[in-house]
Structure 1
Amino acid sequence: MTVPLAVPLTENEIADVRSSAPGCTDTLIHLNHCGSSLPDQRVLDVQVGHLQLEATIGGYEAAKVMVDADANVASSIARMIEAESSEIARFGSAAEAWNAAFWSIPMERGQRIIVHDHEYGANAIAFIHAAKTRGIVIDRVPSDEDGQVSVDALAQRLERADDVALISLTHVPTNGGLVNPAVEVGRLANAARVPYLLDACQSVGQRIVDVDEIGCDFLSATGRKFLRGPRGTGFLYARTAILDRVTPSQPDHHGADWSSTDDYTFADGAQRFEYWEYSHAGWLGLGAAVDVALEIGVDRIQATITERAAQLRVMLADIGMTIYDEGIEQSGIVTTATPSVSSANLQAALGRAGVNASVTFVGSSRYDVERRNLPPLLRLSVHCTTTITELERAVEVLEQATEVSTPH
């Protein structure tokens, strides 16, 4: 969404944020925040502290001691995305959260689910599985000239909305730097009264996300990426107004009350999507990560990431790398490649120099790869902890790697 950006963090402020993150050192340059980011020490302290408490007094007993702190995690998440705490459900990953929402949607044979070319591989598998098992039709909306979902094409698809079961959109795709116009999609979905599921695993933590402004019915997110939280954590936002229209596909005795011998009653709010068992230490760590982000200011995190990513794109172009990023708005994910050296070899060269990066593969975004005929891309992702010096060093390594491979 387009929002006025705050002032990026100053060098001193970045240094302060880095000082409380054990992974931010002079020997490591982490440019894989979209894979798994570097947590603040407070996140580790909360996790390890709870594990120690479980080991000392017992898991059930530790949960009882931390019951208020546990509930506060949902409150922090709700504050971050402008929701109610009762609309937040805990999960072990964004994929679990997304699937809980997706499979709760009523789908009848012949109905359409509207998707975009920038869907994640995990989501696409669910679409195909629903087509095979429920007989739904996958209706792919094309991208516009800027690479984002075509709002005009979506509006045309919704002129006949009575057979649409769901609109699914990835806010920030796995590659391409794109930020999809989630607010505009939400306006169309709400006007057509079609459920709207937003995959925000790459946007929550790096961008301002306001579920009321976006208008989504569901939003899934992870802890390990730009939130700088623990792996194995995630959450689902489920708008209160959608609950009467959907049915959790696999409830347990936490998400539903075994109210009589032959019946059950769903729990209130988003809790109906949760399971009783979960990592209490991970959930508390996620809460700490959210609190850290709120303390820094998500608006300032977004401004800093936007600035750093733009700087990196210019620096890569200056050494002859091709930038594959799309969109009017662009995220902190920068994708690049060069015909002279494979992206895997570039990643290896960076790794030898102490720079973390990742490489995209076709199974993570086949729609986009086939549409644009993309090679494997080197994926570099920045955060508010990233410094200019780190970018200069990483680009220097890439320049040397491409020069060595270029015949003279």
Structure 2
Amino acid sequence: MTTPFTDREVAENRGATPGCTDDLVHLNHAGSSLPPQVVLDAQIGHLRREATIGGYEAAAEAVDRSAAVYDSIATMIGASAKEIARTEHATAAWNAAFWSIPMAPGQRIITHDHDYGANWVAFLRAAEVHGVEIDRVPSDVHGQIDLERLATALEHPDEVALVSLAWIPTSGGLVNPAAQVGALANAAEVPFLLDACQAAGQVEIDVDELGCDFLSATGRKFLRGPRGTGFLYARESILDRVTPSHPDHHGADWVSMDRFEYADGARRFEYWEHDHAGWLGLGAAVDHALELDIARVHATIDERAEQLRRGLDDAGMTVQDTGVERCGIVTSTHRSLSPAEVADRLTKASINVSTTMLGSARADLEPRGLTSMVRMSVHCTTTSDEIDRTLDVLRSL
């Protein structure tokens, strides 16, 4: 097994992160993590160049560093650089992939009850626009996607437009068996869109092992990059089967008055205008994660999350996480206080947490009779003392 970071190494990780202080406990990494100094340096340094010499000129000066970000992301997920597209956030990446997939009236979109609220809105809109149906594969007894039911849903692949899965959902500690879902989708030759919003930076990613045709991710969560950054992976072999829905003259070349040609590879999903400083900051975040070793980051997150779950039961909280494999997102409810009240008490104690609301995870929470949950999320900068401090506050409630 991979060894978690030692206390000394955690202290070193914290020392490289300006937001890690004794005055604040940050347990909201699934929302927006605390960036390391190298990310700030990359981002602020470029903004200063833009202010000093001009935006176009600063971009030209940084063209090699900007190109290197594609290589870094490709290294992190086991892809090639031409399969990476820059996006402004995970939803933009996911939508770029989703709306490129052909859909015919009567075809089904196969998904799991844990898919994210923004994705569900897209499913509903596709039902309005294309006449497709939403096929909800339920959870098994462990709370993860039921693979046997998925296999049955894929028995007639011509009837299926795509399989969509949230690898690590926003609404709990679940880690879905994405590679097994990919194997089933690949065997049926159905496009597989994987939402890795909460996975990137938290777990190791190998797109070949996962079997995904598309993978969407953000910078601001476990990657510890800037807000307003993200990326899309598009497998080269899927590109002939899909059509970007809103190309511009960066994602496509205007070759004559009445014709355009899509750019090579995943860049066809990009737009020309973007946050250059944010993109460079994202590259710095990816490089930093690779330097730390994401396998060890993962092991440390698991260790802290399990420590938190064990302590919550003794602190008057009920852990609501599901799944065989669980992650650094820990959700819970209090026996008498609302999640909003618990979050407010923790905030007053300088402990950052979040709440998962019904509108983000209705298909998961509604059947369980839940309207919201307290969401705490740890990282490789989280200390055991911070967990204990949080549990002490919860006990005092």
**Short-chain TM bin:** over 0.9
* Letter of the structure 2 residue corresponding to residue 200 of structure 1: A
1:404 aligns with: none
| Equivalent-residue separation in structure 1 for 2:135 and 2:237 (angstroms) | 25
TM-score, normalised to structure 2, is 0.99
Please give the secondary structure, in 2, of the residue aligned with 1:360: strand
| Equivalent-residue separation in structure 2 for 1:161 and 1:175 (angstroms) | 29
Shift of 1:29: 0.1
Q: Alignment partner for residue 354 of structure 1, among 350, 355, 367? A: 350
2:368 aligns with: 372
TM-score, normalised to structure 1, is 0.97
| Equivalent-residue separation in structure 1 for 2:293 and 2:378 (angstroms) | 17
Is 1:115 aligned to residue 111 of structure 2? yes
Is 1:23 aligned to residue 19 of structure 2? yes
1:406 aligns with: none
| Equivalent-residue separation in structure 2 for 1:15 and 1:338 (angstroms) | 31
| Equivalent-residue separation in structure 2 for 1:95 and 1:180 (angstroms) | 19
CA contact (8 A) 2:316 2:394 kept: no
1:137 aligns with: 133
| Equivalent-residue separation in structure 2 for 1:27 and 1:320 (angstroms) | 25
| Equivalent-residue separation in structure 2 for 1:172 and 1:161 (angstroms) | 25
* Letter of the structure 2 residue corresponding to residue 107 of structure 1: M
Q: Deviations over 1:43-99 (max 9, x none)?
A: 001100000001111111111110000000010000000000100000000000000
Please give the secondary structure, in 2, of the residue aligned with 1:104: coil
Please give the secondary structure, in 1, of the residue aligned with 2:154: helix
Q: Alignment partner for residue 127 of structure 1, among 123, 147, 156? A: 123
Q: Alignment partner for residue 78 of structure 2, among 71, 75, 82? A: 82
Please give the secondary structure, in 1, of the residue aligned with 2:158: coil
1:164 aligns with: 160
Q: Alignment partner for residue 214 of structure 1, among 210, 224, 243? A: 210
| Equivalent-residue separation in structure 2 for 1:312 and 1:194 (angstroms) | 39
Please give the secondary structure, in 2, of the residue aligned with 1:349: helix
Is 1:301 aligned to residue 294 of structure 2? no
1:93 aligns with: 89
Please give the secondary structure, in 2, of the residue aligned with 1:159: coil
Alignment of 1:238-257 (within 5 A): 238-257=234-253
* Letter of the structure 2 residue corresponding to residue 237 of structure 1: Y
| Equivalent-residue separation in structure 1 for 2:283 and 2:31 (angstroms) | 19
* Letter of the structure 2 residue corresponding to residue 223 of structure 1: G
* Letter of the structure 2 residue corresponding to residue 355 of structure 1: I
Query: In angstroms, what is the RMSD of aligned CA positions?
Result: 0.6
Q: Alignment partner for residue 280 of structure 1, among 276, 281, 295? A: 276
2:169 aligns with: 173
Shift of 1:303: 0.3
Shift of 1:6: 1.0
Q: Deviations over 1:1-39 (max 9, x none)?
A: xxxx41000000000000010100000000000000000
Shift of 1:319: 2.1
Alignment of 1:257-336 (within 5 A): 257-336=253-332
2:219 aligns with: 223
2:178 aligns with: 182
| Equivalent-residue separation in structure 1 for 2:366 and 2:345 (angstroms) | 27
Shift of 1:174: 0.6
Shift of 1:376: 1.4
Shift of 1:321: 1.3
* Letter of the structure 1 residue corresponding to residue 151 of structure 2: A
| Equivalent-residue separation in structure 2 for 1:73 and 1:6 (angstroms) | 27
Q: Deviations over 1:274-304 (max 9, x none)?
A: 0000000000000000011000000000000
Please give the secondary structure, in 2, of the residue aligned with 1:162: helix
CA contact (8 A) 2:316 2:335 kept: no
Runs of 4+ in 1 over 3 A off after TM superposition: none
Q: How many residues align?
A: 397
Shift of 1:375: 3.6
1:399 aligns with: 395
| Equivalent-residue separation in structure 2 for 1:157 and 1:345 (angstroms) | 41
- The more displaced of 319-328 and 212-221 is 319-328
* Letter of the structure 1 residue corresponding to residue 18 of structure 2: P
Q: Deviations over 1:199-218 (max 9, x none)?
A: 00001100111101000000
Please give the secondary structure, in 2, of the residue aligned with 1:183: helix
CA contact (8 A) 2:113 2:136 kept: yes
Please give the secondary structure, in 1, of the residue aligned with 2:372: coil
What are the ranges of 5 or more consecutive residues in structure 1 without an aligned counterpart? 402-408
* Letter of the structure 2 residue corresponding to residue 278 of structure 1: H
Shift of 1:100: 0.2
| Equivalent-residue separation in structure 2 for 1:280 and 1:197 (angstroms) | 27
Shift of 1:320: 3.0
Shift of 1:338: 1.4
Shift of 1:118: 0.1
| Equivalent-residue separation in structure 2 for 1:43 and 1:319 (angstroms) | 36
| Equivalent-residue separation in structure 1 for 2:332 and 2:81 (angstroms) | 39
What are the ranges of 5 or more consecutive residues in structure 2 without an aligned counterpart? none
- Relative to 1, partners in 2 of residues 1:242 and 1:94: Cα closer, same or farther, differing over 3 Å? same
Please give the secondary structure, in 2, of the residue aligned with 1:276: coil
